[in-house]
Amino acid sequence: MVFSLLKKFENLPIIYLLFFTLFISYSSCAVLSYIENQAKLNIHKSLYTVLQMTQEALQRWSINQSQKIVSISRNVEIKRMTQDLLENRREFASHKTQMNVRDLINQSTLSFAVQNFYLIDQNGINLVSKFDDELGLENLVKSKRNLEFTRIFNDEAVFIPPIMHPSHMRQASTEVKPHPITFVGAPVHNDKGDVVAALLMGFDPQLHFSRITELGRMGYSGETYAFDGKGLLITKSRFTQNLRLLGLIGKDALAMLSIRITDPGINLFKQFDDAIPAADRELTVMAKRVISGDPHPYYEAYRDYRGIPVFGAWLWNETLGIGLTTEIDTSEAMKNYLIIRYITILVLMIMVSLTLCVAFMPLRFQAKEISILEAHKNSLEKTVKERTKALVKTNHELKVLCEMDPLTCLANRRSYNHVLLKEVSMAKRSLEPISLLMIDVDFFKLFNDNYGHDQGDLTLQIIANLIKESLTRETDFAARYGGEEFVVILPATSEEVALTIAERIRMNIELKGIEHQYSLTLNVVTVSVGCVTLKGNSVGEKALFKNADHALYLAKKAGRNLVISHPGSGKQR
C-alpha cells in the first residue's frame, strides 16, 4: 500500500517544476512589458521637454521680430506715405514717395538681417519692394499663405511660415533659383485707424528659424523639425544628404519645402524600389494627429518620412500656425531596453533549461544547480540596477538642462521661482532677513543695435561670470531673469551686506571695461541694481520682487550705474 502511494505521487515534483517554469516565464514577460512601457514613457518625456524648449525659442524669436516690424509699421511717415501711394495708385511705379518709403524701411531694417521687404495693399499688390522688378505684381504671400495674409488685414502681427521665393537677377545671364524665405507681417493703419496695407519683412529661415529647430536634435538620430498645415517640411532636415542620395531631392536642393511628411510604407534606405508611390502616400501618424488636432500623447513607434521607425512628441502651435515634432530612431532610443530584454530572455532560457534538467537529474546535483540559478539571478539584478541607474542619471541631466539658461549657464527663470519660494519659506520659519537684487544692463539695446547680437551674447556671458565671482557664499543664488536682467537671492543677509554685495557686482562689471561707446552713462558697460531686504511677516515672494523691481526703477531714473535700496530701507550707494 505504501509503495502504491509513492508510485501515485512520484510525478508531483516534475509537475511543480513545470508550474514553476510557467510562472517564471509569465513573470519575466510581465516585467519586460513593464520596463518597456516605462522606457517609452521616459523617452516621450525627454522628447517633449526638448520640444517645449524649441517651441519657446521659436515663439521668442517670432515675438521679437514682430515687435520690430510693428514699430516700423506705426511710423508716422510710413503711414502718411502709404496713404499717398494708395491715393495715387496709377503713377506709384515712378512716384517719389515709393522711393522714400523704400529708403525709410531700408534705414529702419539695417540691423534686422532682412532679405526682402514689401508694402502691399489689400489685394496683395506690391506697392513697395526692395527690388524694382516686383512692383505692381501680386505678392506670393497672398497666394501661398492666404490665411496669414488675411490675419494681417484683420489687424494682427503674424509669423508667416517659409515659402519658396524667386531670387533676384543682378545680370541678365544669372540663373534664377527659388530659395526659401519666411516673413513676419504687420498691419499699416490710416489716420482713422483702419488697416489699409501690410508691411512684410522677409528672413532667411536657414539662418534664423531653422537654426533654432536644429538645436533640438537628440543623440545620433534625433531630429526636431516644423511643418505647415499641409504636411510640408518647412525647416532643414538632418538627413538632407541621405535624401539626395536616394534622389528624393535634387543634388543641390534642400529638404525644406521639398519633402512632405508622408509614410513611404517601408524603410527607404533598405527597400527603396518597394516603397509606396509618392502620390499615394498618406501623412505619417505624427503629421495626421498634429494636423487633426488630436491632443492625446502617443507612446508607440511609427514610421517617419524616411520610413524608419521612430518615437516622437509633437504639438500644433496656433500662434505660429505650424506643427512641431521631436523624433528619435527607435533603434537608438530603445538600445538600453533591448540589452535588458536580451539578457533577461537569455537568463530565462538558461533558467528554464536548468529547471528541466533538475527535474530529471539525481538529487545529489540539486544543490549545485540551485547555486547556478542564484548566480544568474544576481547577475540579472545587478544588470537591472545598472540600467536603472543610467536612466536616473539621464533624467537628472535633462532636469539640469531644463533649469539652466543655455546662454549664460546661470539658473533660468523657472529655477529662480523655485529657489525663491524655498528661501522665502525658510526666512519665515527662521525669522532671518532675506535680500533680493534686481540687476539690469544699462542701455543694452543700444549695445546690441551697434555691436551686434553676437557681441551682446558674449557680454551677457561675461556679466553672468562676474556676478557669480562676486558671490562668496554657497547659499547665494544667481539667475538670468530674462533678456539683460539678472536676479540674486541672498538668504540670511542684512540690508547693509546686501548693498555691499550689490556694489561689488556693479563695480566689478564697470571695472571690467567692456567697451560701450553708445552708453549715456560711461563709455563702458555698466549695470543698475535694485536691492530690497525683508524680514519677519513682511517676507513674501511678490513683495520681494515688487520692491526690488521698484528699486531698480529708481536706480535707472537716478541716472543708472547705481545701487539703490528700496525707499523703505532708506539707503543708497
Instruction: Quickly list DSSP for 56-110.
Output: HHHHHHHHHHHHHHHHHHT-HHHHHHHHHHHHTGGGGGG-HHHHHHHHHHHHHTT
Measured CA to CA, the distance from residue 142 to residue 124 in angstroms comes to 6
Which of 510, 524, 508 lies closest to 470 in space, CA to CA?
Answer: 508
pLDDT tens for 67-113 read 889 988 888 888 888 888 888 766 544 577 788 888 888 888 777 77
CATH number at residue 257: 3.30.450
**571 in a structural domain:** no
- The answer for residues whose C-beta is within 8 angstroms of residue 563's C-beta and 6 or more apart is 499, 502, 503, 506, 528, 529, 531, 555, 572, 573
Domain extent for 114:
74-203
| Residue 440: per-residue pLDDT | 95
**For the domain that residue 107 is a member of, what is the CATH number?**
3.30.450.20
Enter the pTM of the model.
0.57
**Residues annotated as catalytic (active site), given as ranges:** 484
Residue 62 lies in a domain: no
**Nearest one of 238, 281, 239, 240 to 260, comparing CA atoms:** 281
Hey, what's the cell of 251?
543634388
- Domain co-membership, 379 together with 357: yes
H or E stretch covering 124? none
Domain match, 419 and 533 both: yes
Residues 417 and 559 placed together within one structural domain of the fold: yes
Q: Which three cell numbers, joined as nine digits, stand for 215?
A: 538645436
The count of domains in the chain is 4
Which residues in 255-410 belong to E strands, given as ranges? 302-303, 309-317, 322-329
CB 453 within 8 A of CB 502: no
CA-CA distance, 379 to 400, in Å (whole number)? 32
**169 pLDDT above the threshold of 50:** no
Q: State whether 327 and 341 are in the same domain.
A: no
Q: Is 66 domain-assigned?
A: no
Q: Exposure pattern of 383-393 as b/e (b: 16+ CB <10 Å)? A: eeeebeeebee
Per-residue pLDDT reduced to its tens digit, 91-103: 544 577 788 888 8
- Considering the domain architecture, whether residues 232 and 358 belong to the same structural domain is answered as no
DSSP letter string over 243-263?
HHHTTSS-TT--STTT-B-B-
For residues 363 and 503, membership in a common domain is answered with no
Residue that finishes a domain, picked among 282, 307, 333: 333
Q: Which residues contact 546 (CB under 8 A, 6 or more apart)?
A: none
549-569 pLDDT, tens per residue? 999 999 999 999 999 998 765
Mean pLDDT in residue range 369-396: 77
Contact by Cβ (8 Å): 189, 199: no
Mean pLDDT computed over 228-252:
87
DSSP 458-473: HHHHHHHHHHHHH--S
- 556 & 418 share domain: yes
Phi, psi for residue 572 in degrees, rounded to 5: -145, 145
Q: Which of 110, 116, 105, 199 is closest to 165 using CA atoms? A: 116
Clarify whether residues 558 and 434 are in a common domain: yes
> In this structure, is residue 264 part of a structural domain?
yes
Q: 442 and 554, same structural domain? A: yes
Q: 337 with 35: CB under 8 angstroms?
A: yes
| pLDDT of res. 14 | 65
* Each residue's pLDDT tens digit, 317-341: 998 899 999 999 999 988 888 888 8
Instruction: Examine the domain organization and report whether 111 and 139 are in the same domain.
Output: yes
Measured distance CA(165)–CA(179) in Å, rounded: 5
